[in-house]
Structure 1
């Protein structure tokens, strides 16, 4: 049976409990990483981004430009650091550019 929270719990605590009990964290991480990619990469990169998927700790990014894919491949470590800093957690451990 789920843990019952007292009436003085904050909304944040209640939401964290719901996410934990229902095992929703991977889906929340997926959304957070997509939002971080959009905000960090800017319009130039986002116009060539087809899809962003997080599976496990690996971020898969589908790009429509081979030139941009090659350019971003040189900065994978920086991309990982920027996204993890934005989310204040170590979620992404690797980046695969397609």
Structure 2
């Protein structure tokens, strides 16, 4: 049987947690922004609530702008009046300023 020397176990110094490895990979390939956009779109109901989500037809990003298509004119007007607050809620949920502007359609 072979005895193992210390150099065989030296790789442990290079071991990083999976979460940190994935974050480094996303940063290296500049994908973190896209991941955040996908997170916002997929979490729209949880972030804004079920009542808003039921009247939401479509949510998508284009050029750091969040586009939200709504089926209710009164809700559209209410959210338009509070769009800076909505952007703050979304940005705090993500942890960075991903939403520069919101356009309600």
Alpha-carbon separation, structure 2, partners of 1:23 and 1:16: 10
* Structure label with greater radius of gyration: 2
SS in 1 for 2:49: helix
Alpha-carbon separation, structure 2, partners of 1:88 and 1:16: 14
For the aligned residue pairs, the C-alpha RMSD in angstroms reads 1.6
The corresponding residue for 2:94 is 87
> Normalising by the residue count of structure 2, what TM-score does the alignment of the two structures yield?
0.77
The corresponding residue for 1:3 is none
- Unmatched tracts of structure 2, length 5 or more: 1-12
State which of 32, 35, 49 in structure 2 corresponds to 1:28.
Answer: 35
The corresponding residue for 1:65 is 72
SS in 1 for 2:98: coil
Structure with higher helix content = 2
Q: Is 2:60 aligned against 1:53?
A: yes
**What number of residue pairs does the alignment pair up?**
93
SS in 2 for 1:92: coil
The structural deviation recorded for 1:34 is 1.5
> Normalising by the residue count of structure 1, what TM-score does the alignment of the two structures yield?
0.82
